[in-house]
Structure 1
């Protein structure tokens, strides 16, 4: 068997130069020998957490709440109508307002929108309020119902009671906004959160 010839000094120098230019296939892997000789890499400085984004102005004051319990989910993306109406300035007589919100004033007329679609309910409400105003009535009751919460297959976000949320907006928009003086959630004897007191101007 032929004996292997060792590398000459010139060949060893050439090989060293070639090896120095080679790039490793796995840079993260280090041989045990080289790892023991080279100092450990310095720990990177911890990065500061970026500041939380500020809530856009159009969404400030909105309340987001969710419930996931295997039996459905719900999210409220706006304050409840009762809370929103309670923040509006008082434009009617204070004593009359107190009697009204305590359920001590009997509505002079009422309309029940419960079960109607939005497309049907809005013109019905407009006609009712205009007629009550023409007849000189002051306090009327608008019944919307509380609405149903979405089931497990309902899309998110689910906001129960579309009529309950839309009616206050309709009452503040033309042509009703000019003749409606005050809107408040009804006392429980007149429907509670499922109805509104609407106090009309003279």
Structure 2
């Protein structure tokens, strides 16, 4: 029987399920190397910004705003919150490591973009109450502004309370080139 290769998204989900499983009495976890390899995502260091700017004394030029995600406008956010605009998909990143969440989010958004969905909901969670904002709650908006995401993300905004409030983000995906 030929084994089907799992996508990155499926490997992340499978690893979460496998970690929660308890082997039967007298049985051990499988030693299959392919299933126990850790997922790795190249770490992206945030760009180091100099407070002074370029060496020649000029003010730094802002990045091209045509590719940077913007906030959603108020009417669009209101329509999403009231259900007058369809949310084309949801992804829940609760309980994941940053590495797992990054892989899952990127594959989810790419798939939604290819399927020409316009708006999706990303659930990050609010984080533990004792330590302020959660890691994913802070990281996801930063990721959405970085290169692999900004080519497909047109804008994002905190979700309405009944969609998760501060623990969720509405994401507007760009249209494919040549589509209106």
TM-score normalised by structure 1 residue count: 0.48
CA distance in 2, matches of 1:173, 1:101: 26
Report the Cα offset of residue 95 of structure 1. 3.5
1:124 to 78, 92, 104: 104
Give the distance between the partners of 1:132 and 1:161, measured in 2 at CA: 25
Distance 1:143 1:183 in 2: 12
Q: Report the alpha carbon displacement of residue 175 of structure 1 after superposing the two structures with TM.
A: 1.1
Q: Deviations over 1:19-49 (max 9, x none)?
A: xxxxxxxxxxxxxxxxxxxxxxxxxxxxxxx
1:105 corresponds to 2:68: no
Pairwise CA distance, 1:190: 0.7
For 2:129 and 2:76, how far apart are their aligned partners in 1?
34
The structure 1 residue matched to 2:163, chosen from 190, 197, 201, is 190
Distance verdict in 2 for CA 1:93–1:194, change over 3 Å: closer
CA contact (8 A) 1:103 1:189 kept: no
The 3 A distance-change label for structure 1 pair 126 and 96 is same
Distance 2:83 2:161 in 1: 8
| Gap regions ≥5 residues in structure 2 | 1-49, 52-68, 176-180
Larger Rg: 1
Unaligned runs of 5+ in 1: 1-56, 59-87, 151-157
Q: What is the DSSP-based 3-state SS (H/G/I as helix, E as strand, rest coil) of the residue aligned with 1:105? A: coil
Conserved 8 A contact 2:70-2:156:
no
What does residue 174 of structure 1 align with?
Answer: 147
**How much is the aligned-residue C-alpha RMSD, in angstroms?**
2.4
SS of structure 2 residue aligned to 1:106: coil
Correspondence list, 1:1-202, <5 A: 90=71, 95-101=75-81, 104-150=84-130, 158-202=131-175
